[in-house]
Amino acid sequence: MSKKGRSKGEKPEMETDAVQMANEELRAKLTSIQIEFQQEKSKVGKLRERLQEAKLEREQEQRRHTAYISELRAKLHEEKTKELQALREVLIRQHEQEAARTAKIKEGELQRLQATLNVLRDGAADKVKTALLAEARDEARRAFDGERLRLQQEILELKAARKQAEEALSNCMQADKTKAADLRAAYQAHQDEVHRIKRECERDIRRLMDEIKGKDRVILALEKELGVQTGQTQKLLLQKEALDEQLVQVKEAERYHSSPKRELPPGIGDMAELMGVQDQHMDERDVRRFQLKIAELNSVIRKLEDRNTLLADERNELLKRSRETEAQLKPLVEKNKRMNKKNEDLLQSLQRMEEKIKNLTRENVEVKEKLSAQASLKRHTSLNDLSLTRDEQEIEFLRLQVLEQQHVIDDLSLERERLLRSKRHRGKSLKPPKKHVVETFFGFDEESVDSETLSETSCNTDRTDRAPVTPEEDLDDTATREEADLRFCQLTREYQALQRAYALLQEQVGGTLDAEREARTREQLQADLLRCQAKIEDLEKLLVEKGQTASTQDSSRHAKQGTAAAFVRGPNRGQASGQPSGAACVTMVPSSPQRQESGDEHILEPAYLGSSAALPRTFWTTLGFQVGGGEAAAHQNKPRLAGKDLQAGNGREPAEERHARRKGSERAVRIQSARTRSKRLYLL
C-alpha cells in the first residue's frame, strides 16, 4: 500500500514538473517575442524621426527656392528699368539731333530768304517773284516725288516683313501643337506608371498583412497554452492591442505618403485655344505683338533649359560621388572579410602548433629520461661506443628539431601579436562605413539600414567578440535576429524604392503644381503682353507719322499764309462719309474770307484713322489746331480697344492689366509729344 501511495504521489509531481517546464519554455518564447517587438518598435520610431527630418528639409528647400525666385524677379525688374532708361536716353539723343538738324535747315532757309528779300529791295520784283515761285514749285514737286517713292518702298518692305512674320507665327503655332501632344503622351505614360506602382504597393501590403496575421495566430496559440496564468494572458492581450494600433498607424502613414495624382498644367491648352481664337482676328498689330511675345517666351524657355541642365549635372555629380564612395567601400569590406578569415586560419594554425609543441615537449622529456637511464648503464666497449654515437646523433637531431619548432612557435606568436595590434588599431582608426545615398522625393537621403552592412557588422562583431565557431553554430545562434533584421530591411528598401520612383515621376512631370504660382506667372505674362502691345502701338504711330510728312508739308504752307486749323471729329460726319463712328479726320480751314466762302477745305484722312489707335489730342493742340469731339471719340473707342482683352479675360479686366495699359498709354503720349514738338519746330 505504501508503494502504491508513493507512486501516486510521484505522478502529480511529474505532471507539475512537466507543466512548469512547459510554462518556462513558453515564458522564454514570450520574452523573445517581446524583445523582437521592442526592437521593431524602436526601428519604427527611428523611421518616424527620419520622416520628420525629411519634412523639415523639404520646408527649408521651399523657403530657399522662394527666396531665390524673389531675387530673380528683383534682378529682372532692375534689368527692365535699366533697358527703359537706356531707351529713354537714346530717344532724347535722337530728338536733340533732329532738333539741331531742323535748326540748321531753318537757318539756311532764313539766310536764303534774306538774300531774296535784299534782291527784291534792289529791284526787278516781278522777275524775281516768278523765278522764286517756279523754283519753289520745282522743289516742292521733287520733294513730294522723292517722299512718295520712299514711302512706297517702305510699304513694300513692311508687306514682306508681315508675310515673314505670319510664316514664323504659323511655324511656332505648329511647334506648340506638337509639343502639347508630346506632353499629353508623356503625362499618360506617367499616369500608367503611377497606377502600376500603386498596384505593386497594394500587393506588398497584402503580403505584409498576411505575415502579420500569421504572427497573430502564433500569439493566439500562445494565449491558449497560457490560459491558466491570467496575469500573463492580460499582458499578451495588451501587447496585441499595441501591435494593432501600431499597424493602423503604419497604414495611415503609408496612406498619407502615397503618391497623389498630378494634372497637366492647364496653361498650355488654354494658350493653344487662345492662339486659335486670335488667329481669326489677326492683323499687323497682332503679328508684331505675337512676334515679341514668342521671342520673350523663347528666352524664358532657354533660361529654364539651362537651369534644368545645371540641375541635371548636379544630380549626376552627386550620383557619381555616391557610386565612387560605394566603390571605395567595397574593397575595404572585402579586405576586412579576408583579414577576418585569415585571422581565423591563423588561430586554428596556432592551436595546431600549440598541440604539436605539447607533444614535442612530452617526447623530449621522455627522451631525456631515457638518456639519463642509459647513462648509468654505459658500457665501455666498442659496440657500446658505436651505439652511444648513434644515440647522440639521434639526440642532436631531435634537439635541432625542437629548436626549429621553437623558432616557428616564436615566429607565429609574434605574428599573432602583430595581427592583434593591427586589428585593434584598425578598429580605432577605421571610420564607420558611409551610408548609401538614395534619391528621394525630398532630395538625396542616406540609407541608415542596409542588409549588406547589417550582415557585415554582425559577422565582424561575432568574429571579434567570440571565439571562432563553425558556420552551423553561428547560423543557429543568430537565425531569429537575422530574420527580423531581413524583414525590416526589406520593408525599408521597398519604401525607399517607392520614394525614388515617385521622385523620378515628379521630375519627369515637371515638379509640384502650385495654383498661386501659376496665377502669378499668368498675370506676369499678361502684363508683359500688354507692355508689348503698347510698344507695337508706339511703333505703328511712328510709321503713321512718317506717312504724314507729305500732308504736313501742305499744312505748313497754309500755316505760312496765315491759315488756322481745326480738328473736326463727329459721329454724324464720319458715318455719312462711310467711315466708322470711331474714325477721325483733320480739316484744314483757311482763315481768309475768300477761302471760307468758297468752302475750300483740305481734309486729311490717313488710312490709320479708321482704326482705334489714332494720334492723341496733344499732337494737334501743340501744332496750334483746335480739337473737337475728344470725349465722345474716346468714349466710342474705349470699348472697341479693350474688346479682345476683355474677351480673353472672360469679361473682367485685372487691375495689373489696367495699370500696365495706363502706363503704356502714358509712355506713348510722352514719346508722341516729344515728336510733335520737333515737328512743330519744323513747321515753324
Tell me the mean pLDDT in the region 172-194. Answer: 84
| 37 Cβ neighbours under 8 A, 6+ residues apart | 239, 243
Residue 642 has pLDDT above 50, yes or no: no
With a pLDDT cut of 70, the percent of the chain lying above it is 53
Q: Which three cell numbers stand for residue 195?
A: 497606377
Strands 626-627 and 437-440, sheet pairing:
unpaired
Instruction: Report whether 48 contacts 254 (CB < 8 A).
Output: no
Lowest mean pLDDT among 312-321, 347-356, 458-467: 458-467
Residue 125 has a pLDDT of 61
Residue 57 has pLDDT above 50, yes or no: yes
565 sits in which H/E element: strand 564-567
Give the separation between CA 529 and CA 290, rounded to whole angstroms.
8
Residue 586 has pLDDT above 70, yes or no: no
Residue 156 has pLDDT above 70, yes or no: yes
Residue 89 has a pLDDT of 92
Q: Which three cell numbers stand for residue 518?
A: 501659376
Distance from chain centroid for Cα 292: 27
Q: Which long-range contacts (CB under 8 A, 24 or more apart) does 316-323 make?
A: 318/437, 318/444, 319/437, 319/439, 321/437, 322/436, 322/437, 322/444
Residue 561 has pLDDT above 60, yes or no: no
Winning range, highest mean pLDDT, from 15-19, 411-415, 416-420 = 15-19
Q: How confident is the model at residue 311 (pLDDT cuts 50, 70, 90)?
A: confident
Lowest mean pLDDT among 59-73, 86-100, 518-532, 600-614: 600-614
Residue 340 has pLDDT above 80, yes or no: no
Lowest mean pLDDT among 102-116, 206-220, 455-469, 471-485: 455-469
Residue 452 has pLDDT above 80, yes or no: no
Residue 21 has pLDDT above 80, yes or no: yes
Q: Which three cell numbers stand for residue 335?
A: 579586405
Lowest mean pLDDT among 58-67, 355-364, 626-635: 626-635
Give the separation between CA 37 and CA 353, rounded to whole angstroms.
47
Q: How confident is the model at residue 674 (pLDDT cuts 50, 70, 90)?
A: low
Residue 132 has pLDDT above 70, yes or no: yes
Position of cell 606568436? 413
If DSSP codes are grouped into helix, strand and coil, which group holds residue 626? Answer: strand
Residue 607 has pLDDT above 50, yes or no: no
Residue 461 has pLDDT above 80, yes or no: no
Lowest mean pLDDT among 508-512, 535-539, 571-575: 571-575
Residue 137 has pLDDT above 80, yes or no: yes
Residue 476 has pLDDT above 60, yes or no: no
Q: Which residue has the higher pLDDT, 634 or 242?
A: 242
Looking at every residue in the chain, the average pLDDT score rounds to 68
Residue 15 has a pLDDT of 83
Residue 91 has a pLDDT of 92
Give the separation between CA 578 and CA 352, rounded to whole angstroms.
122
Q: Which residue has the higher pLDDT, 197 or 437?
A: 197
Residue 220 has a pLDDT of 78
Tell me the mean pLDDT in the region 615-636. Answer: 44
Q: How confident is the model at residue 567 (pLDDT cuts 50, 70, 90)?
A: very low
Residue 595 has pLDDT above 80, yes or no: no
Q: Residues for the chain: how many in total? A: 684
Instruction: Report whether 628 contacts 574 (CB < 8 A).
Output: no
If DSSP codes are grouped into helix, strand and coil, which group holds residue 438? Answer: strand
Q: Which residue has the higher pLDDT, 483 or 347?
A: 347
Winning range, highest mean pLDDT, from 141-155, 200-214, 501-515 = 141-155
Residue 33 has a pLDDT of 92
DSSP string, 420-433: HHHHHHHHHHPPPP
Q: CA of 30: how far to CAs of 59, 220, 237, 239, 340, in Å?
A: 44, 12, 12, 11, 35
Residue type present at position 409: I
Residue 603 has a pLDDT of 37
Residue 347 has pLDDT above 70, yes or no: yes
Q: CA of 47: how far to CAs of 206, 434, 494, 502, 541, in Å?
A: 21, 19, 13, 19, 68
Residue 442 has pLDDT above 80, yes or no: no
Tell me the mean pLDDT in the region 386-407. Answer: 66
As to burial, measured by CB atoms within 10 angstroms (0-12 exposed, 13-18 middle, 19+ buried), residue 59 is exposed
> String of b and e for 313-332 (b: at least 16 CB within 10 Å)?
eeeeeeeeebeeeeeeeeee
Residue 346 has a pLDDT of 81
Winning range, highest mean pLDDT, from 284-298, 348-362, 370-384 = 348-362
Question: 51: alpha, beta or left, given left = phi > 0 and alpha = psi -120 to 50?
Answer: alpha
Instruction: Report whether 609 contacts 633 (CB < 8 A).
Output: no
Q: Which residue has the higher pLDDT, 5 or 242?
A: 242
Report the predicted TM-score, pTM, of the whole model to 2 decimal places.
0.18
Give the separation between CA 493 and CA 449, rounded to whole angstroms.
9
Residue 591 has a pLDDT of 39
Position of cell 517575442? 33
As to burial, measured by CB atoms within 10 angstroms (0-12 exposed, 13-18 middle, 19+ buried), residue 76 is exposed
Following CA atoms 201, 204, 206, 209 in sequence, which dihedral angle do they give, to the nearest 10 degrees? -120
Give the separation between CA 336 and CA 329, rounded to whole angstroms.
10
Residue 4 has pLDDT above 70, yes or no: no
Residue 585 has pLDDT above 80, yes or no: no
Residue 626 has pLDDT above 70, yes or no: no
Winning range, highest mean pLDDT, from 261-265, 618-622, 674-678 = 674-678
Lowest mean pLDDT among 46-55, 92-101, 509-518, 537-546: 509-518
Residue 378 has pLDDT above 80, yes or no: no
Q: Which residue has the higher pLDDT, 449 or 274?
A: 274
Lowest mean pLDDT among 67-81, 299-313, 486-500, 511-525: 511-525
Residue type present at position 181: A
Position of cell 595546431? 352
Q: How confident is the model at residue 552 (pLDDT cuts 50, 70, 90)?
A: low
